[in-house]
Amino acid sequence: MQKILVANRGEIALRIMKTAKKMGIKTVAVFSEADRESPHVTYADEAVCIGESPSNQSYLLGDKIIKVAKNLKADAIHPGYGFLSENAEFAEQVKANQLIFIGPDAHAIKIMGNKLAAKEAVKFYNIPMVPGTEDPLDDIAEAKAIAEKIGFPILIKAAAGGGGKGMRIVKNIQEFEIQMERAKSEALSAFGDGSVFIEKYIASPRHIEIQILADSFGHTVHLFERECSIQRRHQKVIEEAPSTVLTPKLRDKMGDAAIHVAKACNYVGAGTVEFLLDDQNNFYFLEMNTRLQVEHPVTEIITGLDLVELQIKIANGEDIPFIQADLEISGHALELRVYAEDPLNNFLPSVGLLSTYKLPKGDYVRVDNGYTQGMTVPIYYDPMLAKLITYGATREEAILNMLNAINDYKIDGVETTLPFGEFVCNHHAFRTGNFDTNFVNMYYAPELIDKATEKEARIAALIALKQYLKDINQLKLPN
C-alpha cells in the first residue's frame, strides 16, 4: 500500500495521516470550502477540494471521493468515523473500483448497521440482550400491548440509527403513542428509515464497550474495555480505560461475547461492540460500531498498540501479529472530547473564531487535534475541536493529569466542554467510580450548578464576613 485517501476531516483525518506517514505511506486529503485552511489539508501529501461546505455537498459525495482516489492513484480509502464510514454502499463502490476499503466489508456493515438485524445475527451465540421486540413496529395497538407486556419504563429506538436519534424513553402507557410518533419521525428524518423497535429501559446502566480486532484469516481478539457512561443526549463526552467496575472474570466474559458478535458477521478490521451493564453486573448487547471509534486513543494507551496501523495492515491482507494471551492492560487512560459547545446551555454548539487556541503539553498528555488559532469553527459539522487524552499509572494519576491538562488548554472565542471535564474529574461520584449514564442529569443540570454556585458564594461571603469582624476586633484599642 503506497497511498491512502482519507475521506474525512478534522482531528481524525490528521490522526490517520500521522500513522500513514509513520508507515511510509503517502496521503491524500479531501476537503470542503469551509476546511480549506484546516491542518489535515496542509499535512497531507496531496489535497483536493471536493465541494461546498455542507457535508452533503462534500464529505458525503462517495462517487466524487472515489474519483479523486483513482485520479491520484491511491491504493486505499480510510473513512475515519462519521460521514461514509458505516455506509455499506460506499464500501461496495470502493471495492468495485479496485480500491481497498480500510474497514469491514459491506455485508458486516449492513448487518450491524441495523440493530434488529444485529440482534438476529448474534442470537446463535446466546449473547445476553435487553428484553424487547425482534421486528420493526408500525401498529400502535400492537406496540402498546408489547410495551405493557415488557413493562414500563420502555425505550423506543430507531432500528437504523444511533447517537441518541430516534430514541424515546416512555414511562407509562399514557405517553406511549406520542413518543412513538416522535421516535418514528426523528428516525425517518435522521436515517431515511422510520422503523422503530421496543426494549426494556434499564434505568441506571453503565455503557461499556469492547474493542475488537479481526483479520481475514479468522483470528479475532479483544483489546479490553472502555467505560463510556459520561454522556450528554446519549452521546459520549468522557471515556476511560479500563473500567472501574469490571472484574477480570467479567472482562473475559464480555470480551468473549464481543468476539462472538464479530464472528457472527464474519467481521474483518477494527470494530467496537457496545454493551449495557446494570447495577447487578448483568451485561446486554447493545450494538456494534463497524469503524474506528472516537475514543480509540484510550485503548491505544493502555495496550501500547496503534489501531490505525493495525487497520491498515489488516486491510492490506496481513494477519494480527499477536494472540489474546499476549495482551495486557498497562495503567489508566482518560479522554475528554473537547467540543465547541456550551455545557451550561444544554451543550448547544458554540461556533465562532478561535481567537486563542493553545494546546496543553506534557509527558502524560496526548491531544488529537483538528484546529489552530485563528480558525473559525464552522456550523456545518460535528463541533468537536480535539480529543484530550491523559495517562497515569493509576486512575488517580490519570485524573490529576487530566485536570492539569484542562487548566493548560487555552481557548477563547467559543464555549467548550473543558469546564465540564473539570467538573466531572473533580466530582466525588466520578472520583469514586460510583456513576452511570445518568451522571449529567443527576449532577450537571444548569439549575443544580446554579444552586451549587450560590451555596459556594454564600460560604465565601460568610468566611469573608468572619475575617472582617476578626480584623475589626483586632484593630480596636484596649481600654
Q: DSSP per residue over 297-354, as a string?
A: HHHHHHHT--HHHHHHHHHTTPPPSS-GGG----SEEEEEEEESEEGGGTTEE--EE-
C-alpha to C-alpha distance for 184 and 173, rounded to whole angstroms = 17
Which residues, listed in sequence order, are joined to residue 3 by a DSSP beta bridge?
26
* Least confident segment among 86-100, 110-124, 242-256, 373-387: 110-124
Query: 220 has which bridge partners?
Result: 214
Name beta bridge partners: 352: 377
Average pLDDT over residues 71-92: 97
Q: Is the peptide bond before 297 cis (omega within 30 degrees of 0)?
A: no
pLDDT tens column, 104-143 = 999 999 999 998 899 899 988 999 998 888 888 888 888 9
Can you give the pLDDT at residue 136?
Answer: 86
Mean pLDDT score of the chain, rounded to an integer? 93
Catalogue the active-site residues: 291
**pLDDT value at residue 1:** 95
Q: Which residues contact 162 (CB under 8 A, 6 or more apart)?
A: 287, 289
DSSP symbols for 335-347: EEEEESEEGGGTT
| pLDDT tens readout for residues 4-20 | 999 999 999 999 999 99
**Neighbouring residues of 100: CB distance < 8 A, sequence distance ≥ 6:** 1, 75, 76, 77, 94, 315, 316
Q: What is the pLDDT of residues 392-408, one digit of tens each?
A: 999 999 999 999 999 99
- Which grid coordinates are listed for 233? 443526549
Tell me if residue 77 falls in helix, strand or coil.
Answer: strand
Question: What letter represents residue 129's amino acid?
Answer: M
Contacts of residue 262, defined as CB under 8 A and 6 or more positions apart, other chains included, come to: 212, 214, 220, 271, 273, 288
**Nearest one of 79, 75, 91, 100 to 13, comparing CA atoms:** 79
Quote the pLDDT of residue 233: 84
Residues ≥6 apart with Cβ < 8 Å to 462: none
302-353 residue pLDDT tens: 999 999 999 999 999 999 999 999 999 999 999 999 999 999 999 999 999 9
Query: Under CATH, domain 131-200 is a member of which superfamily?
Result: ATP-grasp fold, A domain (3.30.1490.20)
- More confident of the two residues 458 and 424: 424
Res 204: pLDDT: 86
- Are the beta carbons of 60 and 83 closer than 8 angstroms? yes
| Domain 3-102 = CATH 3.40.50.20 | yes
What is the reported pLDDT for 234?
A: 84
100: cell is 481497498
The CATH class of 206-443 is alpha beta
| Strand intervals (E) in 117-258 | 154-158, 168-170, 196-200, 206-214, 220-232, 235-241
Length of the chain equals: 479
Predicted local confidence at residue 463, as pLDDT: 74
Burial of 322 (0-12, 13-18, 19+ CB in 10 A): middle
Sheet with 154-158, side-by-side order of all strands = 168-170, 154-158, 196-200
Mean pLDDT for 271-282 is 95
Identity of the residue numbered 110: K
Higher pLDDT, 432 or 157: 432
| Rounded CA separation 295/212 (Å) | 13
Which residues make Cβ contacts (< 8 Å) with residue 72, sequence separation at least 6?
A: 3, 5, 28, 46, 48
pLDDT digits (tens, 9 = 90+) for 194-237: 888 999 998 889 999 999 999 999 999 999 999 999 999 889 99
**Weakest mean pLDDT among 268-272, 371-375, 387-391, 460-464:** 460-464
6-20, 286-300, 355-369, 440-454: the lowest-pLDDT one? 440-454
Q: Which of 143-157, 235-249, 263-277, 395-409 has the lowest mean pLDDT?
A: 143-157
Give CA separation, 335 vs 89, 204, 347, 368, in Å.
32, 22, 18, 10
pLDDT of residue 452 exceeding 60, the answer is no
- What torsion do the CA atoms of 92, 95, 99, 102 make, to the nearest 10 degrees? 60
- pLDDT at residue 454 is higher than 70: no
Does residue 234 contact residue 179 with C-beta atoms inside 8 Å?
no
Going from N- to C-terminal start, the domains of the chain cover 3-102, 131-200, 206-443
pTM attached to this predicted model: 0.88
Question: Between 390 and 232, where is the model more confident?
Answer: 390
pLDDT, position 333: 98
Q: Select the more confidently predicted residue: 453 or 21.
A: 21
pLDDT category of residue 60 using cuts at 50, 70 and 90: very high
C-alpha cell at 135: 421486528
